[in-house]
Structures are given as C-alpha cells and as structure tokens.
C-alpha cells in the first residue's frame, strides 16, 4: 500500500507524535508498504531510509495562514501516486490533509489523541472545566470555537478516525457526533527491549513523572507532597521529565515550599534517555486529571517500573488497580502520598505489580498487534 503520512512534528524535535510517526513509518515500510512523510519541521530530518518532505515553520507574518498554505500545496504534490493519507491529528495537519484527499479522491484517515480546543483553553486560562464538562458547555472565546469547528468538520468527514483508547472513542461519538462505525481503537505500542539504567541505584528513593508541564497533569500536587515525603525519606528525589508553560510556576513552587533539594527538572529528554531513567526509578507517578491513553504509563510498565496513576479516562484501559498498578482518586493528595509510601516500603509489592504490568504490555501493547490493527483499518478505509 502507498501511504502518505502528515505530521505536525518530526525528529529531531522531541515529542510523542514525532516518535510515533517515525516508528510507525519504519515498521509499515518493513511490512512492504511504500511510505512518504510530510512534516512540519525547521530542522533537517534525522531519519535514514524514510522519504521525508519538510514544511518549514519560520514565517513571521500571518504565520499560521502561510504555514497551512505551504502545507496544502506540499501535500497536493506529495499525494500524487499515493493511495491513502494518514494525518496525525485533525487540526494542524488534518484539515489540509482532508481537503487534499477530497480533491484527489483519496481516502483520509485521521488520528485523534486529544482535544486541542480544550487543551488550548486550559493553557490560556480560559477554562477550568474537565474535558467532558467543556465539551458539554464550551468556553474559551473565538479561537477555541474555531478549533472545535475544524476538529468536528475533519473528524466527521474523514473516512476513518483512529484513537488509542475506547475512552476517546466514546468522547468522539458523544460530543463530536462522529459515527461509531467510523472510529477505530488502535492501542499505542512500545518496543520491549532491554535498556541499561542511567546509573546504579544508590539507595535513594526515586520517583519519576513524565509529561508536558501543563495544568491538568497535576504535577504541582505531586511537588507539594515532596516536603512531607522527604521527612520520611530525606534523600528522596522526584525527577520531572518534560517542559511546558507551567515550568516557571513549578520552579517557584519548589522554592516556596523548600522542595528544591529533592526535585530535579530534567527537561525534554530523548526517548532513550527517558527509558534509562524509568529503568532506574522506584515508582512512576502520573497524577493527571485527564488522559486519552497515557503512553508514559505503557513505557514505564515496559521498563518494569511500578506505576501509581489517577483513576481517569484512558488510564483505566492500561492500569488495573492492585494488579498492574495502583489507582488513586484525582485530587486526593493524602491517598496519593499514602500509596507512594506504601510502595516505597514494600519492595515485594513493587516487584509483583511491575511483573504483572509487563506481562499485560506484552499481550496488548506490542508493535505486532498494533500494526495488525492499523493495517486492517487502513485497508478498510482504502476500499
């Protein structure tokens, strides 16, 4: 099959969509498909054996309009001779991909991993609602309404929509009125490979959390637990991997509560560096108030790092409480602290959870099963 993949981010940029695009492109190519990638990036792509066409981002005036115009014409040329367009998101690359697909009469498949309209409204302080509350009664101004309209249009008119969880499928069907028959759940995958730990453990407890530093990730609540945890474990370290608009606020919070000696802001790391730190950690904590499907939890489990996560959304499809991880109620800081202390005190419990989680990942989140499902969806869309 000849597949054109459009993506808003690509290596050397760091991020989930960038990593996914490279991995899925390489693996589809290994299965005999012809792959061409169109990507927003200012850097020269650092991926061998893939045909990648870059769309530069360096426009100053009317940036979004110029970028979308260039993307449209780049996709129009790149789609020649291809059978299908697979867009990594409904807004940044989805609208142009859909228009090009309709003009050239080629099927379009769109991947949906999160609601950009809601995320943007939260980041700009325009809403404090949960995703479901927001979608029931949207707020956030003209820009948010525009993004919602684009998402709705693209998702309803795509030939197929792929989501990584049944939770997100239900969101699309209920709030965006996308026909259930059009939405396919294809779980994300991880590579089950042996990773060398970043360094030898030296007896100090290490907690790790990974994600964009945005309000709904709940990293501020995790940081606020550090002084209390440090009274029991003076050498404890909380390693925060990721960057985002909350970075300065979190740093100031550490100073205010005296958590600086125990908190490490690692910033944005490569995938290999992140896996090495996961391998070395005692507990992975995801204190998020929203997750479509937390790929970081899957990565942690693949490195046999025990997981504590909030009982929300797509996380429930990865973590079975007491079996493959520990679930806590969002916003319940006392419960979160108690569960962290429980696991730090119980090496056997950590090992048991990690072992069962690893077996679950092997059965549900491997590249072999993901690619089988993805090929089924792509072939169905192309019929």
Separation of alpha carbons 307 and 214, rounded Å:
20
Separation of alpha carbons 200 and 206, rounded Å:
12
DSSP readout, 239-302?
A: EEE---TTHHHHHHHHHHHT-GGGEEEEES--HHHHHHHHHH-SEEEE--S--SS-HHHHHHHH
Residue-level pLDDT at 195:
65
pLDDT digits (tens, 9 = 90+) for 266-290: 998 988 899 999 999 999 999 999 9
Residue-level pLDDT at 271:
84
Please list the alpha-helical segments (H only) found in the chain. 16-30, 63-78, 94-104, 116-123, 131-136, 142-157, 166-175, 219-232, 247-257, 271-280, 295-302, 333-345, 347-364, 367-382
Residue-level pLDDT at 254:
97
Separation of alpha carbons 327 and 341, rounded Å:
14
Residue-level pLDDT at 317:
96
Separation of alpha carbons 187 and 31, rounded Å:
19
For the beta sheet containing 34-40, the strands, ordered from the edge strand earlier in sequence to the opposite edge, are 51-55, 34-40, 2-7, 84-87, 108-111, 160-163, 183-185
Residue-level pLDDT at 217:
95
Residue 325 CB coordination number (10 Å): 27
Contacts of 376 (CB under 8 A, 6+ apart): none
Residue-level pLDDT at 29:
96
The domain made up of 206-364 has a fold known as Rossmann fold (3.40.50)
The domain made up of 2-189+366-382 has a fold known as Rossmann fold (3.40.50)
Separation of alpha carbons 92 and 9, rounded Å:
10
Handedness of CA 219, 232, 354, 312 (dihedral sign): negative
Separation of alpha carbons 26 and 354, rounded Å:
29
The domain limits of the chain are 2-189+366-382, 206-364
Residue-level pLDDT at 184:
98
Handedness of CA 285, 290, 296, 302 (dihedral sign): positive
The list of the chain residues with pLDDT below 50 reads 61
Question: Can 2-189+366-382 and 206-364 be said to share one CATH topology?
Answer: yes
Residue-level pLDDT at 149:
96
Residue-level pLDDT at 77:
97
Residue-level pLDDT at 63:
65
Residue-level pLDDT at 371:
97
CA of 111: how far to CAs of 314, 357, 361, in Å? 16, 26, 22
Name the packing angle between helices 116-123 and 142-157 (round to 10°): 160
**Beta bridge partner(s), residue 7:** 39
Residue-level pLDDT at 14:
67
Helix (H, G, I), strand (E, B) or coil at 108: strand
* Contact of 82 with 33, CB cutoff 8 Å: no
């Amino acid at each position: 099959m000849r597949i054109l993949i459009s993506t808003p981010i690509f290596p050397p940029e760091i991020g989930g969509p960038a990593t996914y695009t490279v991995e899925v492109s390489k693996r589809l190519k290994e299965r005999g498909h012809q792959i061409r990638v169109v990507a927003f990036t200012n850097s020269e792509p650092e991926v061998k054996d893939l045909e990648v066409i870059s769309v530069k981002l360096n426009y100053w005036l009317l940036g979004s309009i110029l970028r979308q115009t260039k993307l449209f014409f780049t996709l129009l040329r790149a789609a020649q001779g291809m059978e299908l367009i697979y867009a990594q998101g409904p807004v940044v690359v989805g609208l142009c991909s859909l228009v090009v697909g309709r003009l050239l009469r080629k099927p379009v498949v769109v991947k949906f991993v999160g609601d950009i309209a809601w995320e943007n409204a939260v980041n700009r302080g325009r809403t404090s609602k949960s995703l479901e509350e927001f979608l029931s009664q949207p707020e956030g101004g003209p820009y948010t309404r525009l993004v919602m309209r684009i998402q709705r249009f693209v998702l309803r008119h795509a030939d197929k929509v792929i989501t990584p969880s049944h939770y997100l499928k239900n969101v699309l069907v209920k709030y965006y009125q996308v026909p259930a028959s059009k939405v396919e759940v294809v779980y994300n995958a991880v590579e089950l490979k042996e990773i060398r730990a970043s360094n030898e453990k030296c007896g100090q407890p290490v907690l790790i959390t990974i994600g964009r530093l945005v309000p709904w990730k709940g990293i501020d609540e995790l940081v606020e637990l550090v002084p209390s945890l440090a009274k029991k474990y003076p050498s404890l370290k909380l390693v925060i991997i990721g960057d985002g608009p909350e970075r300065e606020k979190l740093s100031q919070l550490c100073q205010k509560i005296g958590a600086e000696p125990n908190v490490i802001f690692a910033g944005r790391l490569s995938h290999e560096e992140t896996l090495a730190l996961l391998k070395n950690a005692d507990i992975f904590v995801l204190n998020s108030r929203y997750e479509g499907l937390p790929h970081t939890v899957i990565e942690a489990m693949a490195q046999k790092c025990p997981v504590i996560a909030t009982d929300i959304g797509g996380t429930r499809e990865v973590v079975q409480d007491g079996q493959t991880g520990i679930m806590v109620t969002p916003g319940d800081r006392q419960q979160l602290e108690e569960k962290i202390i429980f696991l730090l005190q119980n090496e056997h419990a950590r090992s048991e959870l990690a072992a069962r989680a690893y077996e679950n990942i092997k059965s549900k989140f491997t590249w072999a099963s993901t690619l089988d499902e993805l090929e089924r969806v792509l072939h169905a869309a192309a019929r």
